[in-house]
Each structure stands twice: as structure tokens, then as C-alpha cells.
């Protein structure tokens, strides 16, 4: 079998590793000249100096928000770093080591952006473009694994009066360093992982930081930041909040998250994509319409590296004949799926795993009779999620605690 993988980030490399382990032939299409996806820090945004699109939303001095134990693939432990929460460079170094160990780069087609994925009979047409000269080519595969990441396409909510604002407006996908906010009054909109983490960095140099939150901040905000409710309107350089308070501001940074985006999927793939939902997928992985098409890494709020491992193995077990998928009708009947009659959760939260991570991992392993993700991984994940909610210094505290253990 010949398998095409879209993207050489952590998910695509992991998918490649498992394909090779199963003796499938594999091509990994990567639009940039780099492996590691998001984990590459690129100082510019948009296009780099060679006109190559910048994929990564990574910012300077980022420390992972999960301990390294939750950011490891199953067949490569981390080097013995003293600290648990390691830096972007250390994560990238790990991904490169993984790629080298399993000779994955030999299979990467660099600077090749996939522009069309289309089912044709029992095969898949993959059309790709060389981003350096726009030349297009077509190749055919037996199966496709989509690993293009979902921290790239910004969601920017509409705010009344935003056009009257004369200051700097940006989104976290373009945020690189806090220095540009020195001495400014900054409004951060959104208090998810990025909003909370970035507010800590900007607070160290800004005159004032306001964080507008829809609900409880993901991590506690730094003491110097001022928590605010939703923005009602922007009037010139004044932000008016829904509680009637207002603040003078010089810059706005949207930390309002990302949308799923698969611009290369032909309509014939039968995949419906909204900002927060991709369906119909079996187990959030396999296309129900075309079971030789898989998506690796769609779930949110989970430990991604173990997720990539088990999702890739689950899909490949259907290709190598070890596990037979239920029929389309059966799947639609028994799934808590958007196309089934009663989804159990709102569609916008459908892919958010959180505490359900353990259950999700277990069900994949049991159903396909594949190796489990050790339960300690999901236990540690729940522990970390709880710590992150209550203490902004969670990284330091956990390091100290684990050192004692």
C-alpha cells in the first residue's frame, strides 16, 4: 500500500513512523522546508524572506504547557532534561531526534504544498505544488493521512466599533515577542492557553494589560493583569466592557483561537468542516464516507503526542487487516456523531477531549485490539490540567514536586 501524508509536523512524522513500521510505502508532503511544524520558531509571519509561507504560530521563549512525559511518542523517551516543562527548542530537538531515529526525512517531500485531495475509484489523487516555483504535479495513493495541524487559521470575532481603533491589532498566530508591547496599554481578548501565557509575557513590559475573558481564564492570570469581561464595543482608543467599565488602550491582541481548515480537500471527500468541527469521522479519525482517508490530531485539549501515536495505529490497523471497521450504516447508528440523531455534546465542543482523554485512548485500544497508551499518561494529564487551573506558576511547582518524587 502507498500512503500519502499531508504535513511533516509532529502528527505527520508520527504517522510516517507507523506506516514504515507496517511496511507501507509513504510520502510525507510538507509545504515548508522544515520538519516539526508548529515547533519551529520563525521570527516573521506570513511569508519568509524566500517567499515560503510561514506555518508556525510559535512565539519566542515558549515553555511547553505540558510536562515532557506527556509530549513523548511511545517509542522514544526524552533526554534527561532536569526540568519537566521544557522549551520550544528542546521539543523541536526531540522531534528531530525522532525523525532521525526512524529515518523519516528520507520520505519527506519538502516545499510541496498539497492543493487537492480527491478520491478517484479506489485510489486518491494528490495534487501538490512546489511553493518555490508554483509547479504542480499529481500522484496517486491508496490511502491518505491528513496531518496539517490546526493552530494556524485565526478566529477573529467581530467587535462593534473596531474600525475606529487606530492602534496595533494582531492575533496570537502573528505574536512573536512581548517587546513590541513595551510601555503600552494592551487589551488581550481571550483567556485560553495562549491568552493566559502571553498575558504573562506582555505584563512584564507593558504599561497595563487587560484580559477580556468569556469564561474563567484557562490558567490564573498574572497579578499585574486586569481581568475583564467581554468587550461590548471599541470606541476610538477606549474599550468598553459588558460590565460597563472601560479602559484606554494602545494595542489589541486577539487570542481567540483557531479554526479547522482543510482547503485542499475536494468536495468529493465528503468531509464537512466548520470552525470547530470536522465530520463525519469515525472516532474523530476515519472518514465514514471514505475509510482510507484519516485525520490525525483533530481532538483538542489532550496530550497530543500520545494521541498521534494511538490514532495512527488505530487507522493503520484497519488498513493492514487486523481490525475491520463496522459498516457505514452501523457506525452512523451507534455513534454519538453529528450526523446521528442525538449528539451528546454541543458541536463546538465535540472535539474537546479534556478529562475524556483516558476513555478515548482506552476505547481505541480495545476496539482495534492495539497496544494501549499507558494509563499513567492520562492520569498525569488530568493531574496537570487541575494544577494549571489553580496556579499560574504550575510549571515551577510541578518541577519542584517531581524532583522530590
Kindly write out the interface string for residues 309-348 of this chain, putting x where it contacts ligand FAD by CB under 6 A and - elsewhere.
----------------------------------------
Residue 358, number of CB atoms within 10 A of its CB: 17
Scanning 3-11, 285-293, 341-349, 384-392 for contacts with ligand FAD by CB under 6 A, the matching segment is: 3-11
148 touches ligand FAD by CB under 6 A? yes
378 three-state secondary structure: helix
Q: At what angle do helices 357-368 and 304-319 cross, to 10 degrees?
A: 20
Q: 3, 4, 5, 6: which one contacts ligand FAD (CB under 6 A)?
A: 6
Report in angstroms how near the CB of residue 266 gets to ligand FAD at its nearest.
Answer: 13
Q: How far is the CB of 34 from ligand FAD (least distance, A)?
A: 7
Q: How far is the CB of 289 from ligand FAD (least distance, A)?
A: 21
Residue 90 is a binding residue for ligand FAD (CB under 6 A): no
Cβ contact 280:289 at 8 Å: yes
Q: Find the angle CA(219)-CA(43)-CA(194) to the nearest 5 degrees.
A: 10
Which residues are CB-contacts of 11 (< 8 A; sequence separation ≥ 6)? 37, 147, 149, 296, 297, 304, 308, 312
Residue 297 touching ligand FAD (CB under 6 A): yes
- Rounded to 10 deg, the angle between the 394-404 and 375-390 helix axes is 130
Select the residue interacting with ligand FAD from 19, 26, 64, 213 (CB under 6 A).
64
Q: Is 141 in the site for ligand FAD (CB under 6 A)?
A: no
Among 18, 26, 31, 311, binds ligand FAD (CB under 6 A): 31
Among 3, 4, 27, 38, binds ligand FAD (CB under 6 A): 38
Of 115 and 339, which has the nearer Cβ to ligand FAD? 115
Q: Does 65 bind ligand FAD (CB under 6 A)?
A: yes
Cβ atoms within 10 A of the Cβ of 351, count?
20
CA-wise closest residue to 221 among 201, 202, 205, 199: 199
Here the cell at position 49 is 524572506
Q: Which of 3, 4, 5, 11 binds ligand FAD (CB under 6 A)?
A: 11
Q: How far is CA 248 from the centre of its chain?
A: 33
Least CB distance to ligand FAD at residue 308 (A)? 7
Q: Which stretch binds ligand FAD (CB under 6 A): 9-17, 214-222, 332-340, 380-388?
A: 9-17
* DSSP per position, 301-370: SS-HHHHHHHHHHHHHHHHTTSSPPPPHHHHHHH---TTSS--SS-GGGTTB-GGGHHHHHHHHHHHHT-
Q: Which residues sit at the interface with ligand FAD, rule CB under 6 A?
A: 6-12, 29-32, 37-39, 55, 57-59, 62, 64-66, 71, 113-114, 147-149, 151, 194, 264, 297, 304
Amino acid at each position: 500500500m502507498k500512503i500519502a501524508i499531508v504535513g511533516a509536523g509532529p502528527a505527520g512524522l508520527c504517522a510516517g513512523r507507523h506506516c514504515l513500521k507496517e511496511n507501507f510505502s509513504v510520502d510525507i508532503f510538507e509545504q515548508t522546508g522544515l520538519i516539526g511544524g508548529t515547533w519551529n520558531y520563525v521570527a516573521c509571519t506570513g511569508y519568509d524572506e524566500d517567499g515560503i509561507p510561514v506555518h508556525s504560530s510559535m512565539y519566542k521563549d515558549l515553555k511547553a504547557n505540558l510536562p515532557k512525559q506527556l509530549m513523548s511518542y511511545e517509542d522514544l523517551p526524552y533526554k534527561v532534561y532536569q526540568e519537566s516543562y521544557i522549551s520550544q527548542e528542546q521539543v523541536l530537538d526531540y522531534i528531530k531526534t525522532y525523525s532521525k531515529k526512524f529515518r523519516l526525512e528520507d520520505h519527506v517531500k519538502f516545499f510541496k504544498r498539497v492543493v487537492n485531495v480527491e478520491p478517484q475509484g479506489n485510489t486518491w489523487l494528490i495534487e501538490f505544488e512546489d511553493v518555490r516555483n508554483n509547479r504542480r504535479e499529481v500522484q496517486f495513493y491508496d490511502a491518505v493521512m491528513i496531518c496539517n495541524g490546526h493552530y494556524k487559521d485565526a478566529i477573529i470575532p467581530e467587535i462593534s466599533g473596531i474600525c475606529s481603533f487606530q492602534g496595533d491589532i494582531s492575533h496570537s498566530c502573528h505574536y512573536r515577542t512581548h517587546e513590541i508591547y513595551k510601555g503600552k496599554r494592551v487589551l488581550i481578548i481571550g483567556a485560553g492557553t495562549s491568552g493566559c501565557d502571553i498575558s504573562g509575557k506582555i505584563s512584564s513590559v507593558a504599561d497595563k494589560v487587560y484580559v477580556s475573558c468569556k469564561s474563567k481564564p484557562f490558567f490564573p492570570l498574572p497579578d499585574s493583569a486586569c481581568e475583564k469581561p467581554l468587550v461590548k464595543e471599541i470606541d476610538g482608543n477606549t474599550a468598553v466592557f459588558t460590565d460597563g467599565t472601560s479602559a484606554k488602550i494602545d494595542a489589541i491582541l486577539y487570542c481567540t483561537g483557531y479554526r479547522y481548515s482543510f482547503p485542499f480537500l475536494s468536495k468529493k471527500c465528503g468531509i464537512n468542516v466548520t470552525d470547530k468541527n470536522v465530520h463525519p469521522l469515525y472516532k474523530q479519525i476515519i472518514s465514514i464516507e471514505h475509510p482510507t482517508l484519516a485525520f490525525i490530531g483533530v481532538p483538542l485539549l489532550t496530550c497530543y503526542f500520545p494521541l498521534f501515536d494511538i490514532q495512527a495505529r488505530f487507522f493503520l490497523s484497519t488498513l493492514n487487516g487486523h481490525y475491520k471497521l463496522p459498516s457505514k450504516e452501523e457506525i452512523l447508528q451507534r455513534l454519538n456523531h453529528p450526523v446521528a440523531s442525538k449528539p451528546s455534546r454541543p458541536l463546538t465542543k465535540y472535539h474537546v477531549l479534556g478529562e475524556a482523554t483516558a476513555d478515548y485512548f482506552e476505547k481505541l485500544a480495545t476496539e482495534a485490539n492495539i497496544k494501549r497508551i499507558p494509563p499513567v499518561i492520562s492520569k498525569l494529564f488530568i493531574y496537570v490540567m487541575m494544577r494549571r487551573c489553580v496556579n499560574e506558576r504550575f510549571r515551577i511547582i510541578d518541577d519542584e514536586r517531581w524532583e522530590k518524587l
